Structure 1
Amino acid sequence: MNIELGGQPQRVNTVFCIGRNYAAHAAELGNAVEPEPLVFLKPNAALLPVGELIRLPDYSSDVHYECELVVLIGHGGDDIAEADALRHVAGYAIGLDLTARDVQGEAKRKGLPWTKAKGFRGAACVSAFVPAGHIDPAAANFTLHINGELRQQGDSRLMLYPVATIISYLSRIYGLQAGDLIYTGTPEGVGALQPGDRLQLALQHGLLASWQVAA
């Protein structure tokens, strides 16, 4: 799938996601904070652009929203230094990491991977991207409203692992390529989606995105 940066289509490569990157969110789910970034992947087929319906998977009765700052890598590399990391960013977006929480809980109890809980079709909602120079990832604010009610309010200054640290870490362990996306973690306030819900996401400087859950 392609995403859009400044009105131009961009091909997506790997979709990286960071878990437990806000202490309050880890606490609300009873999870420990990890000593290094907790990384998982989503398939490209999970990406859902603005305007398409969110279709909840029929094998879950507890799909949660997680609003996140999303990073688009413009120039890849290995062993990127933190001091140079932000130069590798092409743009930023706002997105949703959807999670089948009941399925994830069962997988964790059995010591199994989370892919079924995190990688279903439409589980990675993402807005259009704005050029990197428009956003300061070290002080980015974002919000999620559902049916007009504020549900999440994020501030990247509260990230346990800032964007530059995440980029450096991913480049050292996995290597990064142009077109990689990074979902950087969600703040507290996650909860279940319901059929018909209307979601509006906002990132500073006027980047807005909305989705509706299929009835």
Structure 2
Amino acid sequence: MDAEAAKLASAIGARVRQERLTRGWTLDQLAGAASVSRRMVVSVEQGAVNPSVGTLLRLSDALGVGLPALVAPPEPRAVMITRCGDGAQLWTGDAGGRGVLVAGTTPPDVVELWDWSLGPGEGHVSEAHAVGTQELVHVLTGRISVEVDGQGIDLDTGDAVAFPGDVDHAYVNSHGEPARFSLAVFEPGVGGASTHPTKTHKDA
């Protein structure tokens, strides 16, 4: 884990621990609510791991704070600016691809704005998010395919697509050139059922 990744992991861990203690939850309660292992919760809180996007989504949904809140500065501001290069890099691919969360809103209706790049042959698979989630993809450079619940949609530079995020989906670059796209994710009602540590809808 490089210095930037370690710094981000530490900040995420501190926020997860803060939110857990605010709710009076034990490690086991958060693990059960998020459908992750107790060991993973401990590792995340200690900043000892660079958790996957899926793990972060489970934790943020269980805590009812939304993914952007886990990677944002602890003190909320009316206007939050993310300078170029300061976004939270939450996914990396073997061919140089990156998934960077650059902006987001607070619950209950959370909107995430991502800057994604996929190297040749790379793809990112996501299981269904919470019911009602919607996603928007706009291809900035290159070509990608978006697979939604078994349906493949080919997109060229400048193309865009809107689709439900509460079904299995994936972003794939099967071409020989890198691709970059902007992704917006809308997840309504985050935290509405998070008063007690119960099973969440999201398993992504």
Using the size of structure 1 for normalisation, the TM-score is: 0.31
Where relative contact order (Cα < 8 A, 6+ residues apart) is larger, the structure is 1
Q: How does the TM-score come out when normalised to structure 2?
A: 0.32
Higher strand share: 1
